[in-house]
Structure 1
Amino acid sequence: MTHGRGSQGPVADGRHTVVVGGGLAGVTAALALADAGVRVTLLEGRPRLGGLAFSFQRGELTVDNGQHVYLRCCTAYRWFLDRIEGAALAPLQDRLDVPVLDAARPAGRRLGRLRRDALPVPLHLGRSLATYPHLSLADRAKVGRAALALKGLDLADPALDTQDFGSWLAAHGQSERAIEALWDLVGVATLNAVAGDASLGLAAMVFKTGLLSDPGAADIGWARVPLGDLHDRLARKALDSAGVRTEVRTRVTSVSRNANGGGWSVEVPGETLQADAVVLAVPQREAHDLLPAGALDAPERLLEIGTAPILNVHVVYDRKVLARPFFAALGTPVQWVFDRTEASGLREGQYLALSQSVAQDEIDEPVAVLRRRYLPELERLLPLTRGAEVSDFFVTRERTATFAPTPGVGRLRPGARTKASGLYLAGAWTATGWPATMESAVRSGVGAADAVLGALGRPRPQHLFEFEEAA
């Protein structure tokens, strides 16, 4: 085992919590508990922290396994960045501005933009939608009416979770083109599902919160450094300073209640840890396997929470081919393209990362097939690629990148508390109200920490993220 002990955190009392899982949910829970003076051990099976938002080396490149972004409305993740002193490394846009290229349109007429003005909701998007070239005049008018209807939905209504977003959009006058060029442009990237396969409840939450709550809510932020610098290096530094014992390469094999009812035993190879409380911050299927009998009324529901893949295509050119930091695309298999040159450490040429959500049909395709598919598409979208040499082409695959946001998934997502006293759940898949995002992961970690602190009778740290009244 490897570990780090810090000396700058608050003085811990005798209460001990074990957090299983070193993704964003587990790191958040560990930091929140340590900040409250609880003694914490964080266990992670991988050799690094960060869960599914991590980096690795490929020659001279530092590669993120996938492109991750967040929005200004992701207040919990922004709190997390502040807590690990990483906010300056993942800045937000001053104002929402998304270039959208339609490969099916003639050259010179391909670019549209989704951007906001400094006006109150919903006028902040009015000019952008009125001039958005990828929709007809009739579609633009109908989009506005659908947005107002969406704004009127009650997110607390459980019936929304039983409906699919695509049927709701069709019932509100949205054409197939409007769904492709606007609703799915946003929804596929945030939900990892097309409208017809997504819960209306989750989709309404995304659009109401991101586009219809505050003028700046959808401003986009992303890391200008490798994700590992944030979610592993800075997170580990923060954990050490808070006094958390962090163990990587340490896979938990079982979690069981002690026979005398006095706490929990957590088994790892070569050691049994004793704890007053345990937070399982692992994927739903791993949580199912570790949960002791009776911890949930219907543990099999965790296995009913589906998963959805994301494919990332990485292309390194010998010269600069893209002048903007990112763009979204229509009329092509390409979805979102980001310039990762500076963050990766590439010294010559340009490195583009294509983020491909809803990748069920492509996730197992051979690299050669994907190369033949995507390089010509990039040539259609970016004329400067036609004379450029491809110096590297590779893919990263996350087969279980997110939980599937299908209709009915809401009833399957458990809260932080289990029926077993002292055992708690965290993870983006738990009942945060958000889809599977970094924001959801951090919120779940805060929620689990709150539950532990309540059970241990410890006060909440003053600086800990505060949930909004509507959350």
Structure 2
Amino acid sequence: MSDTDKRPARLPADAEGRPGREAVVIGGGLAGITAALGLADAGVRVTLLEGRPRLGGLAFSFKRGDLTVDNGQHVYLRCCTAYRWFLDRIDATSLAPLQDRLDVPVLDAATRVRTRSGEGPRLGSLRRTALPVPLHLARSLAGYPHLSLAERVKVGRAALALKSLDLADPELDNQDFGSWLRRHGQSARAVEALWDLVGVATLNAVAGDSSLGLAAMVFKTGLLSEPGAADIGWARVPLGELHDTLARKALDSAGVRTEIRTRVTSLSPMENGRWTVEVPGERIEADTVVLAVPQQETHDLLPDGALDDPDRLLGIGTAPILNLHVVYDRTVLRRPFFAAVGSPVQWVFDRTDASGLTDGQYLALSQSAVHDEIDAPVAALRERFLPELERLLPAARGAEVRDFFVTRERTATFAPTPGVGRLRPGPRTKAPGLYLAGAWTATGWPATMESAVRSGVQAADAALMVLGRPRGHLFEEAA
């Protein structure tokens, strides 16, 4: 196909006489998909360019024999209003439902009790009631068996102190969450069995490595805002069905031209105020460009003068996530998921139905902030984690392991270290018509699917304001 054949034609003027507008979105993760949909829904002609052979960024699926496997377990919360809008926009809400009410089983591998299946770990839970905040968690905390009575009382006091923090205070970003917890009487056990249980999964860092500002945002928004804010949702189908198949269908319906396996080689402004985007074999011109790629790639593509200090992007570190996949010959877990303490195991999800497995059970272990294990050999991980699963799940002790494999995302998220807030750029740049998106940009959220969608909302909103295009009310809610 020639350059002329592939290049989108200039749009005619709209009904109000405004000239047609064209945009290029670089990156087909959740941020880029959201930005493309937002622009297209407002009448802009959009081309979406993605270097990988699929959409969805780091929330994707692949085939392993007869299994359809997610590269890692992803969840969202009821308070994730932007991601919930995204699911609705791509017609996927029913495929990733929320819990009716927060209920997290927590197994303590270090404390053994008698169960119907023999000796097993002590079971506790984090469960909410319908009472108003903070009473909605009071009963669960009062009966949480993994902490002493004194520790539970101190946790309650720390939660009230956390609720009083002002998230707009920039000084919170310069402090680490671990030090704040110690100052508020939290024991090492309380940090492990409660604060890090939630924080590691949402921040991808332990408390001592996390910005107090981001940690406070997570706990205030998720646990201390509305009673149902922390209810958990997750995909009951492979992530690729949501973030690739259904997202692509929504993009096609919106008139977005989507090109996969298309890596951008350069980006440059033109004298007439437009932009040229170079890909192999083609030059694409546009009025607006949204860069929705990781911070290193963004740094490499930014034209001179787009940011006052582009090297600050390189100061935003990354953090890994390791996922272990275990296929048993029988059912060993009766719950959809659980979290663990007193064990290297963090969170375990049953992915049997979603994967298409018809015989046995497939469990996915999500391991965040695993800097020391991300490059460990598969054999070493198998030797360490299979016995741990047997400690946590008595039914696994006699089960045959049919498959054990590993997926690694070495740069899964940005690192939420103290001071990272001042490094995260907003959607606007100093180059007219150029905008930034990505979970690592200044959304106020840690590196989650919610942050990615919000960043796409912000970039589309900023561009549409300049273009004089109408904005949707859903973007008003998520921005």
Counterpart residue number, 1:349: 360
1:389 equivalent in alignment to 2:400:
yes
- Letter of the 2:462 partner, please give it: A
Distance 2:379 2:292 in 1: 36
1:113 equivalent in alignment to 2:121:
no
Counterpart residue number, 2:107: 101
Any residues of structure 2 matched to 1:258-407 within 5 Å, and which?
258=270, 260-407=271-418
Q: 1:135 aligns with which of 147, 158, 173?
A: 147
Instruction: Report the Cα offset of residue 467 of structure 1.
Output: 3.6
Q: Which runs of 4 or more aligned residues in structure 1 lie more than 6 Å from their structure 2 counterparts after TM superposition?
A: none
8 Å CA contact 2:90, 2:250 repeated in 1: yes
Counterpart residue number, 1:65: 71
Number of aligned residues: 462
Identity percentage over the alignment?
Answer: 81
Counterpart residue number, 1:189: 201
8 Å CA contact 1:428, 1:438 repeated in 2: yes
Instruction: Report the Cα offset of residue 106 of structure 1.
Output: 1.3
Distance 1:215 1:462 in 2: 25
- Letter of the 1:167 partner, please give it: S
Counterpart residue number, 1:165: 177
Distance 1:355 1:292 in 2: 38
Any residues of structure 2 matched to 1:32-47 within 5 Å, and which?
32-47=38-53
8 Å CA contact 1:79, 1:465 repeated in 2: no
8 Å CA contact 1:340, 1:351 repeated in 2: yes
Q: 1:229 aligns with which of 229, 236, 241?
A: 241
Counterpart residue number, 1:23: 29
- Give the 3 Å change call, closer, same or farther, for CA 439–11 of structure 1 in structure 2: farther
Counterpart residue number, 1:151: 163
Counterpart residue number, 2:228: 216
Tell me, which stretches of 5 or more residues in structure 1 are unaligned? none
Tell me, which stretches of 5 or more residues in structure 2 are unaligned? 115-120
Distance 2:180 2:477 in 1: 33
- Letter of the 1:89 partner, please give it: L
Q: Deviations over 1:337-393 (max 9, x none)?
A: 000000000010000000000111011011001000110000111011111100000
Q: Deviations over 1:223-257 (max 9, x none)?
A: 00000000000000000000000000000000000
Instruction: Report the Cα offset of residue 56 of structure 1.
Output: 0.2
Instruction: Report the Cα offset of residue 195 of structure 1.
Output: 0.2
Indicate the SS of the match to 1:401.
strand
Indicate the SS of the match to 2:363.
strand
- Measured on the aligned residues, the alpha-carbon RMSD in Å equals 1.5
TM-score where L is the length of structure 2: 0.95
- Letter of the 1:73 partner, please give it: C
Instruction: Report the Cα offset of residue 466 of structure 1.
Output: 1.6
- Give the 3 Å change call, closer, same or farther, for CA 327–11 of structure 1 in structure 2: farther
Distance 2:473 2:421 in 1: 31
- Letter of the 2:248 partner, please give it: R
- Give the 3 Å change call, closer, same or farther, for CA 11–130 of structure 1 in structure 2: farther
- Give the 3 Å change call, closer, same or farther, for CA 225–58 of structure 1 in structure 2: same
1:201 equivalent in alignment to 2:207:
no
Indicate the SS of the match to 2:309.
coil
8 Å CA contact 1:76, 1:465 repeated in 2: no
Q: Deviations over 1:40-90 (max 9, x none)?
A: 000000000000000000000000000000000000000000000000000
Instruction: Report the Cα offset of residue 92 of structure 1.
Output: 0.2
- Letter of the 2:251 partner, please give it: L
Instruction: Report the Cα offset of residue 463 of structure 1.
Output: 4.1
- Letter of the 2:93 partner, please give it: A
- Letter of the 2:395 partner, please give it: L
Counterpart residue number, 2:98: 92
8 Å CA contact 2:324, 2:407 repeated in 1: yes
